[in-house]
Amino acid sequence: MREIVFDTETTGLDPKTGDRMVEIGCIEMVNLVPTGESYHAYFNPERDMPAGAEAVHGLSAAFLSDKPLFRDLAAELLDFMGDSPLVAHNAGFDFGFLNAELTLIDREPVCTSRMVDTVALARKRHPGAKLSLDALCSRYGIDRSHRVKHGALLDAELLAQVYVELRGGRQIGLELAAEASALETVPAIQTSAVRKAPVGPRREPRVHRPSEAELARHREFMAGIENPLWS
C-alpha cells in the first residue's frame, strides 16, 4: 500500500488568523518501506515571519521572499500525494494548513478520511508517555542528532521511521526473515541427523518390570483404599 508521510512548517499556529504554510516535505512509502521518492518545497507566505516561528524552523521572511507561491506548486504537490493516505504527526494541524492553502486558491480540500495521525497511534500504543517526535525518536532509538531546528523534509524522514515502529513493521520484518532463515536451514539439519547411521555397538533395549516386592506393596496399597471407584 502506498502512503505519504508529510510535515509542514508555518508562520504560526492558526491559519484562521492569517498564518500560512511556508514549507512542506513528503516521503513516499510502499508497504511501510520508503521508496526513495520525496517532495519538498518552500513557499513565499506573502507576509512577515514572527520571531517565535522563525526560532523554531529558522526560515526568515528574507529567505522565503524569492520562493514560489503555494498556488504555483499546488498541482505538482497534489500529483505527488495522489489519492494515498497521508501520515502526519498531530495530523489535524498539518491538514488544517494544507487545506487552508488549497481553499485560498479555490481548490478542493484534501478529505480528512485520508488522515493518519501518528500522535493518535502513539497514544494508543504508549498511553501516558511523551508523544512528541523527539520523544518517540528516543523511545525507538532513531538518530535525530542532525535535527538542530525543525525542517519539513527532515521531520518527515524521522516520522517515517517512527511510523514504521508504531505499526510494528520493522519487528515484523525481522521476525519473518528469521523464520524464513530457520525454515531454510533447520529441515536440512534434522534430515541429516535422522539419516545418520548409529555409531558404536548396538545395545538391547532394557526391560523395565516391577519386582515381586513392588507388586506386593502395590496390592497392599490398593487393598487399603476405601470405596474405590473401580470396585
How confident is the model over 139-166, as pLDDT tens digits? Answer: 999 998 877 678 899 999 999 999 999 9
Residue type, 158: L
Dist. CA 36–CA 82, nearest whole Å: 16
- Give a yes or no: residue 227 inside a domain: no
Tell me if 45 sits within 8 A of 69, measured CB to CB: no
Structure confidence at residue 185 (pLDDT): 46
Dist. CA 59–CA 51, nearest whole Å: 10
Of the residues 57, 126, 150, 208, which is catalytic?
150
- Give a yes or no: residue 223 inside a domain: no
Dist. CA 35–CA 17, nearest whole Å: 37
Mean pLDDT of 86-110: 98
Mean pLDDT of 22-36: 97
Structure confidence at residue 188 (pLDDT): 40
- Give a yes or no: residue 104 inside a domain: yes
Structure confidence at residue 192 (pLDDT): 37
Dist. CA 47–CA 97, nearest whole Å: 15
Number of structural domains in the chain: 1
- Give a yes or no: residue 148 inside a domain: yes
Tell me if 159 sits within 8 A of 88, measured CB to CB: yes
Structure confidence at residue 219 (pLDDT): 84
**Helix (H), strand (E) at residue 27:** strand 21-30
Q: Give the domain CATH number at 69.
A: 3.30.420.10
Given a cut of 70, whether residue 98 has pLDDT beyond it is yes
Q: With 0-12 CB in 10 A as exposed, 13-18 as middle and 19+ as buried, what is 12?
A: middle
User: Could you report the per-residue pLDDT of 123-133, keeping only the tens digit for each?
Assistant: 999 999 999 99
Q: How many CA atoms lie within 13 A of 156 on its CB side?
A: 26
- Give a yes or no: residue 98 inside a domain: yes
Structure confidence at residue 200 (pLDDT): 58
In percent, the amount of the chain with pLDDT more than 90 equals 68
Q: With 0-12 CB in 10 A as exposed, 13-18 as middle and 19+ as buried, what is 11?
A: buried
Dist. CA 161–CA 113, nearest whole Å: 23
Q: How far is CA 92 from CA 79, 97, 113, 148, in A?
A: 21, 9, 11, 25
Dist. CA 201–CA 191, nearest whole Å: 23
The whole-model pTM stands at: 0.72
Structure confidence at residue 211 (pLDDT): 81
Regarding predicted confidence, which is higher, 196 or 114?
114
Given a cut of 90, whether residue 12 has pLDDT beyond it is yes
Regarding predicted confidence, which is higher, 167 or 203?
167
Average pLDDT for the chain: 87
Structure confidence at residue 204 (pLDDT): 65
- Give a yes or no: residue 201 inside a domain: no
Structure confidence at residue 193 (pLDDT): 39
Alpha helices in 37-168 (DSSP H): 51-57, 61-64, 70-81, 91-104, 118-125, 133-139, 152-166
Q: Confidence band (pLDDT; 50, 70, 90) for 25?
A: very high
Q: Which residue's entry shows cell 492569517?
A: 18
Q: What's the first-to-final CA gap in the chain, in angstroms?
A: 69
Angle at 60 between CA 134 and CA 4, to 5 degrees: 45
- Give a yes or no: residue 177 inside a domain: no
126 catalytically annotated: no
Regarding predicted confidence, which is higher, 173 or 11?
11
- Give a yes or no: residue 45 inside a domain: yes
Mean pLDDT of 78-107: 98
Domain residues for the domain of 8 are 2-172
Provide the sign of the torsion angle of the four alpha carbons 163, 165, 167, 173, taken in this order: positive
